[in-house]
Amino acid sequence: MTFVAFETSTRRPSVAVSNGERTVTRTLSGERVHASDLIPALDAALGELGEAPGAIEGVLVGTGPGSYTGLRVGIATARGLARSTGALLRGVPSGEAVAFERLEPGERCVYLLDARGGELCCALYERVADGVRVEHAPRALGPDALAAWLPPHIPIFGEPGVTEAAALSPEQCTRFDGKAPPGAEALLALGRGLLAALGGQAAHEVEPLYLRPFAARARRR
């Protein structure tokens, strides 16, 4: 079976395609991702595997939390691809995909992102045998509230640069791994199991995980 995954919640959007024997990943440059970037990356990955779009049986997409624009573009692209190919569609929370890929069963992690506006997105996950248990769902907290909430002794995964925004202590910085942002391959690892266990979702059921209402910034003239 051929699966496609789109991860567009972070500053390093990526596309991955797996045909069961090989996985090909394309990472895009730039924080602002467009459908015109994702489709050529998908076509290139399919071509490298020798697969046609008609072979796609499952489409996975990261639902965040993360970049408002990136999530909207990624989900719209995934919906369109599933509709045009007849493939099953499934949204995968981006932080859960990171936890599934990076942890062993029984291990826990904090997932941490800069939510902008002086707030941080944080969540707490435990890896279990067949998936991820959400101990604390993603939420937006200010640095002081985050400091009071952060559990001790467990790894913190996030994007580079978030340590300053979060005002992490020196000890917390030693537990921080900035090389673990969500990627499309992580979505494949968790999402294939979700598709097998739960099946696909209707397009309207796959929605971005927004922690607060979107506020567009006015352009300067």
Classify domain 104-177 at the CATH topology level: Nucleotidyltransferase; domain 5 (3.30.420)
Rounded CA gap, 81 and 159, in Å? Answer: 28
pLDDT at 217 over 60: no
Q: What is the band of 220 on the pLDDT scale with cuts at 50, 70, 90?
A: very low
Domain residue spans of the chain = 2-94+181-205, 104-177
Question: How many Cβ atoms are within 10 Å of 212's Cβ, its own excluded?
Answer: 13
pLDDT of residue 213: 58
Segment 167-187, tens digit of pLDDT: 999 999 999 998 877 899 999
pLDDT at 134 over 90: yes
Same CATH fold, 104-177 and 2-94+181-205?
A: yes
| Domain boundaries 2-94+181-205, corresponding CATH code | 3.30.420.40
pLDDT of residue 63: 98
Considering the chain, what is the average pLDDT of its residues?
A: 92
Question: Of 19, 16, 21, 20, nearest to 4 (Cα)?
Answer: 16
Contacts of 100 (CB under 8 A, 6+ apart): 127, 131, 132, 186, 189, 190
